[in-house]
Amino acid sequence: MTAATAANPLAEGMSEYRSADPALMVIFGATGDLSGRKLLPALYNLARNRLLPAGFALVGAALDDISEDRFRELASQHIREHSRTQPVDDETLEAFVQDLSYLRLDFDDAEGFKRLGERLAELDGARHTGGNVVFYCATPPATYKTISDQLRQAGLTRNDGYRRIIVEKPFGSDLKSAQELTRVLRRAFHEDSIYRIDHYLGKETVQNILAFRFANSIFEPIWNCQHVDHVQITVAEPLGVEQRGPYYERAGALRDIVQNHALQLLTLVAMEPPVSLDAGSTRDEKVKVLRAIRPLSPDEVCLQTVRAQYGDGWVMGEKVQAYRREPRVAPDSRTETFAALKCQVDNWRWSETPFYIRTGKRLPKQVTEIRVQFKRPPHLTFGREATRELESNAITLRIQPEEGISLRFGAKVPTAGMVIRSVNMDFLYASSFLVDAPDAYERLLLDCMLGDPTLFTRSDEVEAAWTLIDCIENVWRQGDAPPLETYEAGAWGPPGADRLLAEDGRKWHRP
Amino acid sequence: MAQTLGGLLELHADRVRARRWKATDVDLGTVMEKLREQEMALREHDAEDQDHPHPRNCVLNLVVGLKDQHRTTACDTMVGKLAAAHPLRAILVRLHADEGPSRLDAEITTEAHQLLHGFPVQREQILLHVRGEAGQHLASLVGPLLVPDVPTYLWWSGREHLDEGKVRDALRFTDVLIVESLHFDRPAAGLLELAELVADPDAPVGVSDFRWARLWPWRDAISQFFAPAGRLALLRGLREVEISAAGTDPDSRAGAALLAGWLANALGWRVRDVREADGGGAAGGTQAVAGVEGADPVRLGLRSVANERLDRGDLLSVRLAGRSGRRSYSLVVQRHPEGERHVHVTIEMDDAPPLRQRLPLPEIAESDLLTHALWSGRRDRVFAGALRGARPLLEALAS
């Protein structure tokens, strides 16, 4: 909620009311996949729900030599195909595409950016947008520097209104390149105006972690090392690398998932309650967690991390081939498609409570979840036989696909004797609310126009995460330890992943 | 109705397990006994000897007053959909007009919905056909059937005035009263009665009105206009408010009065000098002056305009105009002249070319309005404020 809406006496009582100041948006790479599949449908759905600011207009900018009408036509097609809400409302769509325009733009061409400036000035005058513009880089990371510099040189980064830029992950490939990206963007934009988007954080269920932890008084008192034995974070997908071979060859599972998604989930589970849910407070607490994670020494990397690559196998009833035989992947590739690691968060709350992370491709199913495993009772009154099937209490926060929360606890089996067994109490997000949750991009695009960066990643977060990942990457790239294992596609990873927990007397939960 | 990014999903039929029971001329004790039996049967369905029974979920009681079979059938379908999002006990009371001896017929529907594990009981519905004098004593019939410790919503879809005996009786067990004031026989008088109910912030009964929820897109368009920080100052210079509604009589302006009341309350205006103006023929109007003490007055105008396509009282247009220093501005929100699902918004600022936009005016189904009412809190301070602000206008319309 922005200060502007809080001061508007007519906004009172509209509990979900979020009204952004009038603004224009420019999408660089407007004819690309991200724009067509995600951004344009998200903007359409915002229009459908009357959440776009008054006077909103969009300028699509890309290399393709197409007419404005053709761009509108393509936009309509994409929206019809990919909109979250179906069927598409024809009248809303028609009104929405009328507010789209297109500019052919070569990112190396300074004249093109001047033309963009003229177009924005013209639209600003006609639509009373007060000089507010959001620039969205739906382009490969390598172009961010050029676009940012061109915008600066064309004088488009400063105005009476706000000028914000959105860039997509990955934010660099290591600490050094992340710092360089920040330096380049800051030449043109203030840090407050740089929105690093990780769509994962826009998911309702990720945000629900905060609600679960901080809106309920019964969990927080036990959310610490006194009661929690360990935490498992799993980000699994059954897909292989598909057409992303060249990118994945450079990234690997550690950079692709652990550096951002998995560590973000860890921070949300481990962070202290923020003073408020404003952007600064929440991100401050997340950074504190990242800084409290003990960086692994080279010896610890060998003992506490696992890397592996999938071989041939069967996933969800289909035979799939090994990573090294995927298209555009080197036949002798040493890129990991599975990573597991053990982290220690060195602070008062989590001292000696390990956080285990695993992620991989070609795992049995798509699942993202956090399992908080509690300690066993100090004494089991009912005896060994009665509690043979009783497991420790656990809370599982499921992010996808069936978003929800499960609580596992012991209950007496209804027989004459005293037999205690684990039962689950499930809260299923969709079945409980039957709400068609908004797409993460809808939330994040609106947040950016509102000037609310809470769900975007700040530069210090990015850098703290890279600091941890670089410690591991440096060891992995230099030698053979830990060994690059192979796992059968369709399995839950290599034997080393099981050993990682078994050595601590624990085992992975089967999602 | 607050705007939201998401929408309601429907539960697939193959995830529903149901039991039904029906009887004529029964007593309430039998109904309660059968209700318990059905619930237990579903909870134990498929549960092996050593398994725990499925749980039963309930977050609210919903009591619905019904006057005809058509509404009863529609309501049954609606409650079935609602139960997926709001596990509930629904008590549908069909009041029959006959004067004969008291008689009770009952139908029970119990449903379990498949969630992640198991089939918790989500919906228990009792349809009571009430004949004779018992219909005047709803509390005695409904009270024993209510699930304790969860709020009770009374959806009164009839056209009776709130001061009628049976409604007053029903309010004894009610936490939130849900009405559609658009369908009141005398809407202005009905809104005044609602104003009376919510006037006391500690009153035991909250009120939710579908008409108020339907005003949301109009309120949203107005609120959005003033939302940018640079435009907030324009509120102080507001000089004219004109609202038109479909209809030909003073009561058709009740919704317009409610919207004006919302503005008046939010902006701290006192509404005075209300007078009915004869528009001649099929149209009429209400004029008033509003504003804060010591400031320039705001001219309020409510107009009725004959319209065949819309319900009496549906809004047709809103115009706000004013000055701030040397800057003049106007905002016009006008219902689409051909269709009904869009409004045209025209913004004029000084001499700049006007900005024209078309915004969706969603057709909000009754089931969505009911869902929203159940989802919202028990107290709607803004609605209470709007009723308070509208009181002088409503009194003029009702007189």
In tens, the pLDDT along B199-222 reads: 887 777 889 999 999 999 899 899
Alpha-carbon span A360 to A261, nearest angstrom: 12
CA gap B346, B318 in Å, rounded:
11
User: With the C-alpha atoms ordered A203, A207, A209, A212, is the resulting torsion angle positive or negative?
Assistant: negative
Rounded to an integer, what distance in angstroms lies between the CA atom of residue B250 and that of residue B398?
Answer: 8
pLDDT of residue A109: 95
B358 CB neighbours in chain A (<8 A) are: 91, 95
A448 CA: distance to closest CA in chain B (Å): 15
* Inter-chain touch A438–B352, beta carbons under 8 Å: no
Of A130, A423, A431, the CB nearest to B113: A431
Q: What is the pLDDT of residue B8?
A: 46
* Residue A18, pLDDT score: 63
Residue of B nearest to A13 (CA): B382
Instruction: Look at the alpha carbons of A63, A64, A66, A68 in this order and tell me if their dihedral is positive or negative.
Output: negative
Scanning every residue of chain A, which has its alpha carbon at the shortest distance from the alpha carbon of B122?
Answer: A432
Smallest CA–CA distance, residue B178 to chain A, in Å, is 18
Place of tokens 């689409």: B336
Distance (Å, whole) CA A291 – CA A304: 18
For chain B, the distance separating the N- and C-terminal CA atoms, rounded to the nearest angstrom, is 30
The residue with greater pLDDT, B291 or A462, is: A462
Name residue A504's amino acid.
Answer: D
Q: Which residues of A touch B228 (CB under 8 A)?
A: 4, 21-22, 130
Q: Do B8 and A437 touch (CB under 8 A)?
A: no
In this complex, do B223 and A443 lie within 8 Å of one another by their Cβ atoms? no
Task: Report which of residues B70 and B129 the model is more confident about.
Answer: B129
Distance in angstroms (rounded) separating the CA atoms of residues A497 and A303: 11
Preferred mutation among A21, A128, A397, A412 to probe B, highest tally of B CBs within 10 A: A128
CA distance A473 to chain B (A): 39
Q: Amino acid identity, residue A25?
A: M
Per-residue pLDDT averaged across B131-157, rounded?
84
In this prediction, residue B2 carries a pLDDT of 40
Q: Where are the alpha helices (DSSP H) in A133-221?
A: 144-153, 175-188, 204-214
Contact by Cβ (8 Å): A363, A493: yes
Is A117 exposed, middle or buried (CB count within 10 Å of its CB: 0-12, 13-18, 19+)? middle
Peptide linkage before A87 cis (omega within 30 of 0)? yes
Record: contact B216-A14, CB cut-off 8 A: yes
- What would the 3-class secondary structure string for chain B be? CCCCCCEECCCCHHHEEEEEEEECCCCHHHHHHHHHHHHHHHHHCCCCCCCCCCCECCCEEEEEEECCHHHHHHHHHHHHHHHHHCCEEEEEEEECCCCCCCEEEEEEEEEEECCCCCCCEEEEEEEEEEEHHHHHCHHHHHHHHCCCCCCEEEEECCCCCCCCHHHHHHHHHCCEEEECHHHCCCHHHHHHHHHHHHCCCCCCCEEEEHHHHHCHHHHHHHHHHHCCHHHHHHHHHEEEEEEEEECCCHHHHHHHHHHHHHHHHHHCCEEEEEEEECCCCCCEEEEEEEECCCCCCEEEEEEEECCCCCCCCCEEEEEEEEEECCEEEEEEEEECCCCCCEEEEEEEECCCCCEEEEEECCCCCHHHHHHHHHHCCCCCHHHHHHHHHHHHHHHHHHC
For A430, which residue in chain B has the nearest alpha carbon? Answer: B9
pLDDT of B3 > 60? The answer is no
Q: Say whether pLDDT at B157 is over 80.
A: no
Q: 3-class SS at A292? A: helix
% of chain B exceeding 70 in pLDDT: 90
* Partner-chain contact A91 B115, CB within 8 Å: no
Q: Is the dihedral of CA A59, A60, A61, A63 positive or negative?
A: negative
**Residue A316 or residue B197, greater confidence:** B197
Contact across the interface for A19 and B224, Cβ inside 8 Å? yes
CB A171 within 8 A of CB A196: yes
The β-bridge relationship of strands A435-436 and A404-412 is: unpaired
How many Å lie between the alpha carbon of A209 and the closest alpha carbon of chain B?
Answer: 19
Residue of B nearest to A443 (CA): B5
Going from the C-alpha of A110 to that of each of A167, A188, B352, the distances in angstroms are 20, 15, 31
Least CB–CB distance from A414: residue in B2, B50, B226: B50
Query: A413 φ, ψ to 5°?
Result: -75, 130
> Cβ–Cβ of A16/B3 closer than 8 Å?
yes
Q: Give SS3 for A219.
A: coil
Give backbone dihedrals phi and psi of A437, rounded to 5 degrees, phi first.
-65, 145
Question: Is the pLDDT confidence value at B13 over 80?
Answer: no
pLDDT recorded at residue B10: 58
For chain A, how far is it from start to end, CA to CA, in angstroms?
36
pLDDT at B334: 93
Chain A with chain B: Cβ pairs closer than 8 A: 147
pLDDT of residue B51: 60
Mean per-residue pLDDT, B389-396: 96
Write the pLDDT tens digit of every residue in A112-145.
999 999 999 999 999 989 999 999 999 988 899 9
pLDDT of residue B7: 45
Q: Shortest CB distance from B3 goes to which of A17, A437, A443?
A: A17
Q: Mean pLDDT in chain B?
A: 84
CB contact under 8 A, A45 and B5: yes
| Other Cβ atoms within 10 Å of A142 Cβ, number | 7
* Inter-chain CB proximity B7 and A95 less than 8 Å: no
Pairing of β B103-113 and β B121-131: antiparallel
* Cα distance between residue A476 and residue A93, in whole Å: 50
Q: Which residue among A3, A14, A402 places its CB closest to the CB of B223?
A: A14
Enumerate the residues of chain A whose CB falls inside 8 A of the CB of residue B113.
Answer: 431
Rounded Cα–Cα distance for residues B387 and B396 (Å): 14
CB contact under 8 A, B4 and A442: no
Please give the structure tokens belonging to residue B269.
Answer: 């205006």
Q: What is the DSSP letter of A199?
A: G
- Cis, peptide link before residue A401, omega less than 30° from 0: yes
Which residues of chain A carry a pLDDT beneath 50? Answer: 1-6, 15
Which residues are A166's β-sheet partners?
Answer: A136, A195
Mean pLDDT of B275-282: 64
What average pLDDT does this structure show over B59-81? 85
H/E element holding A22?
Answer: none
Q: Do A414 and B219 touch (CB under 8 A)?
A: no
B84 and A434 within 8 Å at the Cβ level: the answer is yes
Superfamily of domain B214-398: Dihydrodipicolinate Reductase; domain 2 (3.30.360.10)
Which residue in A has a C-alpha nearest to residue B349's C-alpha? A128
Among B2, B232, B352, select the one facing A128 at the smallest CB separation: B352
Give this complex's ipTM.
0.72
Q: Whose CA is closest to B291, among B280, B299, B283?
A: B299
Task: Please state, in angstroms and rounded to a whole number, the distance separating the CA atoms of residues A82 and A76.
Answer: 10
Question: Cβ of A55 and B357 within 8 Å?
Answer: yes
Q: E strands, A244-360, where?
A: 305-315, 318-320, 338-344, 354-360
H or E stretch covering A168? strand A163-168
Q: Contacts of residue B360 in chain A, CB cutoff 8 Å?
A: 47-48, 50, 89, 91-92
List chain B residues with CB under 8 Å of A438.
Answer: 5-6
Q: Which chain B residues contact residue A51 at CB under 8 A?
A: 3, 5
Is B6 in Cβ contact with A10 (below 8 Å)?
Answer: no
A45, A49, A428 member nearest B115 (Cβ): A428
What pLDDT shows up at residue B279?
53
Dist. CA A457–CA A475, nearest whole Å: 26
- pLDDT value at position B332? 96
For residues A322 and A337, is the Cβ–Cβ distance under 8 A? no
From A269's Cα to the closest Cα of chain B, the distance in A is 23
Mutate to test the interface with B, among A1, A10, A405 (most CBs of B within 10 A): A10
Q: Minimal Cα–Cα distance from B51 to chain A, Å?
A: 7
Q: How far is B170 from chain A (nearest CA, A)?
A: 28
Which residues in chain A have Cβ-Cβ distances shorter than 8 Å to B355?
Answer: 54-55, 126-128
A434 neighbourhood in chain B, CB within 8 Å: 8-11, 84-85
Q: Would you call A14 and B85 a contact, using CB atoms and an 8 Å cutoff?
A: no
| Known active-site residue A261 | yes
Helix or strand (DSSP H, E) at A496: helix A495-502
Catalytic choice (A78, A199, A230, A261): A261
Please check whether residue A444 is in contact with residue A453, taking contact to mean a CB–CB distance below 8 angstroms.
no
Q: Where in chain B is the domain with CATH 3.30.360.10?
A: 214-398
How close A59 gets to chain B, by Cα (Å)? 17
